[in-house]
Structure 1
Amino acid sequence: MKLILKLKSTFFNILKRLARNYVPRGVIFIIDVCISIFAAQATFFLISSVGNGSLKFIHLDWEFLSLVVIQVLFFIIFKSYAGIVRYTGFKDSIKQLQTTIATVTALILINELIFRVYGTKMLVNGGAIIYGFIVFSLLFLFRVVVKRAYQLIHADSSYTKAYILGTSLADVALAESIISDSRTSFDIVGFISELTKLKKTRILTLPIVTLDQLEHKNIRGGTSVIVSSQKLRELAPEESNILNKLLELNLKIYKLPDLQDWNGESISSEIKKVNLEDLLQRTPIKLQKEKLKSIYNGKVILVTGAAGSIGSEVVRQLIPFGPKKILLLDQAETPLHHMSLELESNHPNLNFEKVIANVRCYKRLEAIFDEFEPDVIFHGAAYKHVPMMEANPVEALDVNFLGTKNLTDLAVLFKVSRFVFISTDKAVNPTNIMGASKRSAEIYIQSVARDRSIQTRFITTRFGNVLGSNGSVIPHFKKQIENFGPVTVTHPDITRYFMTIDEACQLVLEAGAMGNGGEIYVFDMGKPVKIIDLAMQMIRLSGFVPYEDIDIIYTGLRPGEKLYEELLADKENTLPTHHQKILIAKASYDFDSEKLILLKNFQNQICNNNVLKSIEILKKLVPEYSSFTEETRQKNVI
């Protein structure tokens, strides 16, 4: 018995190895010729059976040979043997039908011609039609059998039983495509209707079920749900409970990307697991590509913090607009190396420079400006971890304020056309050093932008948390889930604004192109998200049940952490722009001579590493900054 099982396993392994390679066209051609010979013999046999009654099983005279030659000729004309048999579909059946119809038509015409000249026929006209029916059926059956055998050979016991979300024509087409895909790893078992009442109960012979039926009637046949990217976008925020319900039912959710984003050969290879970014359900951004190209095309563009999550995405977003050169500036050697390898692999024709530098070093930056003469600057280099900056306030001020000041001053000196500063929502009514340091940088940029004789256009962009960025809560939760918990949330009511990395960077490019100088652009972040809801969604997306498989615990607010983030300061109002997701924050900051002196003193105290004096001046520059008591801060200072 063991020997038989071993031989069986060896046989299937050999078949799998053979099936990995495509069968040569010549072999398919020979098989098709053999099928046509068999069909011709079968036709002559049937004709003989209704003739004089004498059955003739083998027919090898000129009539038979003529029929086969005509069929082979049309095989070559239509190249019906050229397709890959394992991927047989509707188009292949049409090609076989065209070949057969052409052969039958030719047979009838030649038949009539021979009859008029010689008074005889190869076969009766009805026989030509019988032959066409037989040969088409056998040719198509051969391809279907090979396709099915390939599927069985490669069949995996881990086939995923899945529903399709929706019953529209697009959803039905999606199901048909997956079912007909020879390399699919999904077994479609039905459709999930978004309606509570059904007009029909089956599509493609598969059942249609509602969410209520899945939840209450225990009729589950699938473990997963497939949804198109278009439908993900169509689901309005108030309807997001559909996806949440599916997750609560422990159904894994997969999505099919838009056609232009496909990379593989089959539809099933494009189906990916839904991630947290997909659940944001935000409307896609429409960029003014022509305007952006006119701003960035042919320019030398400096991106600071280019190895970080935001900076690297800004670089990727800039590439389609054809910059003359991109300067990747960062102090982190290894991440910058990885970024350069990515660009060399994906964009071999891109002209870029890897620049190791620290934005705190004015002389080093000056040498870079002198050598490369950048036209546009995207300044993303910053310290951003709130608790760490609370313990190291001078470092936060040195990088976030002085680093920005260095770049600002050099942009003016070298007459850079545009300077885009990437700020944060934590700069609004800041309760921590990180937010206050970014606000002080905003103030300095605005103080310089007030001088209308300066050619540089200074633009500040302000947005909230970016999903998946370095140091964000998402990678933190992911690691905790991989370790089976517990997932730690600071407070049950804490909320944050979120957007995806690509969305944030696209808006940065758009704002950078529209600014006239001195504006603070605020991005539409949608609705704030409760961190506890985010944690529960991530647990469910990972296939676990919150509080059962993985626990969630509360650890209390960290130093400098707010319950709620704000995008606009109390004394600010907004003006619309041509882009619905970008608003201008009109600040009421009063730049008198005293404030300008404070900025100068602020720089000196930071350079002198005087923590208390620096914070004292910072509070005067940013009066809305409310921090811990000085005693608490002195304990935290390193």
Structure 2
Amino acid sequence: MRSPVNRHRLWQVVVDAGLVVAAWVLSWYLRFDEEPPVYYRRYLEWDVVVLIVGITIPVFVAFGFYNRWWRYVSTRDIWSAARGVAAVSVATFLVFTLLDFHPARVPRGIWIVNLLLLLAFVTGSRLLARTLIERPGARSVIARGKEVIIVGAGDAAEQILREMLRTPALGYTPIGLVDDDPRKKNLRLHGIRVLGTTDELGHLLRDRRPDELLIAIPSASGEQRERIVEVARVENVPVKTLPGLAEMISTDFNLTGQIRPVEVEDLLGREPVEADIESIAGYLTGEVVLVTGAGGSIGAELCRQIARVGPTRLVLVDNGERGLFEIERELVDERSFHATAAVLADAGNATKMRQVFDKYRPAVVFHAAAYKHVPLVEANPAEAVRNNTLVTRTVADTAVEFGAKRFVLVSTDKAVSSKNVMGQTKALCEWLVEAWGHRDDTRTKFCGVRFGNVLGSSGSVIPTFRRQIARGGPVTVTHPE
């Protein structure tokens, strides 16, 4: 077994030995307020002192004193040191008692004073070492890099603040904290003062003029982040944030490495909705599944999730070569799902679709093929009707003809009281699916699902908003209000 006391830790052993000697000798002088009586001086002779050091150091080794870096000493390390010092006191007391070392017994007060002194010396030396190592240099009086105000005064903010102060290379100088809790105002965290509450953020930014504002509240809701970002935008102060709790858990724990610009997702009034794929796995596992528009953003994500539940075969249909190739390669190479069939075809071609259905006999059909960019669809209404509405009819009719068990239409929230061509064409798709669903002469079950803005999807307004935010605004919307 490798000894924890190597040449790099030997100086710690020497320091501890000196502290043990100092605590033992000083306890006698404190106990008697002057030089100890003659009949006790035997306990201060060098051989006795060496014996005490010989008892102490092995106990310290056993309690892992030299497995820890002094520069990173924590409260847990301090408690471990307290247990080790207590064990040393017990061991020394037993040795002196059992060996009948000297006719004059060690006074009980000596054991108590020595315990307290040794505990103070051992823990104090480690805390002092950390303080000296982390102490800012002489040049730290001058701001290094960007001056930043941190929103939050909790655990995440404490870790971020400590890392900023300890690592000048990060390029941040914290100049204050802001927190929702008014009771924290004027308190200090690592020497940095809590300037006020988030309600006072506006005038604090005007008074302090930081280079950046950092949101260090991983549990903050989208509404809270949005309010903070809006205040910072008015004061023309850039904002960065820590990710949410779920994102932090799934990534590296290095908080400073996770500081990033605020994304649109951070400002949502609710968390993004994740597909509950497990709830629909029952009718996908062991079946042939066909997805139209498989190369698109929503179709591709459907393919990824469907592949997780183990269909017999996943048929990918798309008329775009690049998107179809990329999702097929991703499923095969990255996700090790080889039961794929990539079909480069226009889903509106009835003859081709009959060939595909006849060859693969899909039991479940997800129809995600559609034009979704509102301005383009508005400028090309005839093509929108063909690709969105007529293609849906072709795929639905073919699914019924070949006895598919389920047909799922991927629709949009714009189909509700639609005011534009895209929404109207998707509304027609829903009526087609609803009409098939009410018929009794087919075994195919029809249903539809309406998506709002799917984060990162093609045609979503979110990427447009993100580019506008990166340019400094404004964020444009089509609604007059």
TM range, smaller chain: 0.7 to 0.9
The answer (yes or no) to whether the contact 1:85–1:146 under 8 Å persists in 2 is: no
- AA paired with 1:104? S
The secondary structure found in structure 2 opposite 1:219 is helix
The answer (yes or no) to whether the contact 2:221–2:270 under 8 Å persists in 1 is: no
Aligned partner of 2:245 in structure 1 is 259
Aligned partner of 1:274 in structure 2 is 262
Distance (Å, rounded) in 2 between the aligned partners of 1:283 and 1:479: 21
Aligned partner of 1:133 in structure 2 is 120
> Alignment partner for residue 94 of structure 1, among 65, 79, 100?
79
TM-score by length of 1: 0.58
The answer (yes or no) to whether the contact 2:59–2:87 under 8 Å persists in 1 is: yes
Deviation at 1:265, TM superposition (A): 2.3
Distance (Å, rounded) in 2 between the aligned partners of 1:96 and 1:81: 11
Range 216-225 or range 439-448, more displaced? 216-225
Range 423-432 or range 105-114, more displaced? 423-432
Deviation at 1:273, TM superposition (A): 2.8
Distance (Å, rounded) in 2 between the aligned partners of 1:372 and 1:148: 70
1:164 lines up with 2:180 in the alignment:
no
Structure with the greater relative contact order (CA < 8 A, sep ≥ 6): 1 or 2?
1
The secondary structure found in structure 1 opposite 2:219 is helix
Deviation at 1:421, TM superposition (A): 0.9
Aligned partner of 1:573 in structure 2 is none
Distance (Å, rounded) in 2 between the aligned partners of 1:264 and 1:290: 27
Q: Superposition pairs for residues 140-539 of structure 1, below 5 Å?
A: 140-146=127-133, 157-159=144-146, 161-165=148-152, 171-181=153-163, 188-192=174-178, 201-204=185-188, 206-210=193-197, 213-216=200-203, 218-220=206-208, 222=210, 223-233=212-222, 235=224, 241=227, 243-262=229-248, 263-282=251-270, 285=273, 291-297=279-285, 299-316=287-304, 318=306, 326-339=314-327, 348=335, 350=337, 353=340, 355-358=342-345, 359-366=347-354, 368-370=356-358, 372-428=360-416, 433-476=421-464, 478-479=466-467, 489=476, 494=479
Distance 1:174 1:387, change over 3 A: closer
- Deviation track 1:2-38 (CA, whole Å, cap 9, x = no partner) reads xxxxxxxxxxxxxxxxxxxxxx994654343233223
Name the % identity. 28
Gaps of 5+ in 2: none
- Deviation track 1:126-168 (CA, whole Å, cap 9, x = no partner) reads 4454333322322343345445689x99x99335522325xxx
Distance 1:96 1:335, change over 3 A: farther
The answer (yes or no) to whether the contact 1:430–1:436 under 8 Å persists in 2 is: yes
- AA paired with 1:106? A
Distance 1:34 1:242, change over 3 A: same
Distance (Å, rounded) in 2 between the aligned partners of 1:109 and 1:326: 76
Deviation at 1:224, TM superposition (A): 0.3
Distance (Å, rounded) in 1 between the aligned partners of 2:63 and 2:104: 31
Distance (Å, rounded) in 2 between the aligned partners of 1:261 and 1:200: 28
Deviation at 1:116, TM superposition (A): 6.2
The answer (yes or no) to whether the contact 1:357–1:364 under 8 Å persists in 2 is: no
The answer (yes or no) to whether the contact 1:175–1:188 under 8 Å persists in 2 is: no
Distance (Å, rounded) in 1 between the aligned partners of 2:213 and 2:295: 37
Distance 1:305 1:286, change over 3 A: closer
- Deviation track 1:34-60 (CA, whole Å, cap 9, x = no partner) reads 332232343456468764699x9xx99
Distance 1:392 1:291, change over 3 A: closer
The answer (yes or no) to whether the contact 1:362–1:406 under 8 Å persists in 2 is: yes
Deviation at 1:462, TM superposition (A): 2.7
The answer (yes or no) to whether the contact 1:227–1:253 under 8 Å persists in 2 is: no
The answer (yes or no) to whether the contact 1:189–1:207 under 8 Å persists in 2 is: no
Distance 1:80 1:41, change over 3 A: closer
Distance 1:392 1:486, change over 3 A: same
Distance (Å, rounded) in 2 between the aligned partners of 1:477 and 1:60: 80
The answer (yes or no) to whether the contact 2:223–2:267 under 8 Å persists in 1 is: no
Distance (Å, rounded) in 1 between the aligned partners of 2:377 and 2:457: 18
The answer (yes or no) to whether the contact 1:397–1:437 under 8 Å persists in 2 is: yes
> Alignment partner for residue 17 of structure 2, among 37, 41, 46?
37
> Alignment partner for residue 113 of structure 1, among 76, 87, 98?
98
Gaps of 5+ in 1: 1-23, 166-170, 496-529, 531-638
TM-score by length of 2: 0.74
Distance 1:471 1:286, change over 3 A: closer
Distance (Å, rounded) in 2 between the aligned partners of 1:426 and 1:272: 33
The answer (yes or no) to whether the contact 1:307–1:332 under 8 Å persists in 2 is: yes
- AA paired with 2:234? E
The secondary structure found in structure 1 opposite 2:458 is coil
The answer (yes or no) to whether the contact 1:32–1:139 under 8 Å persists in 2 is: no
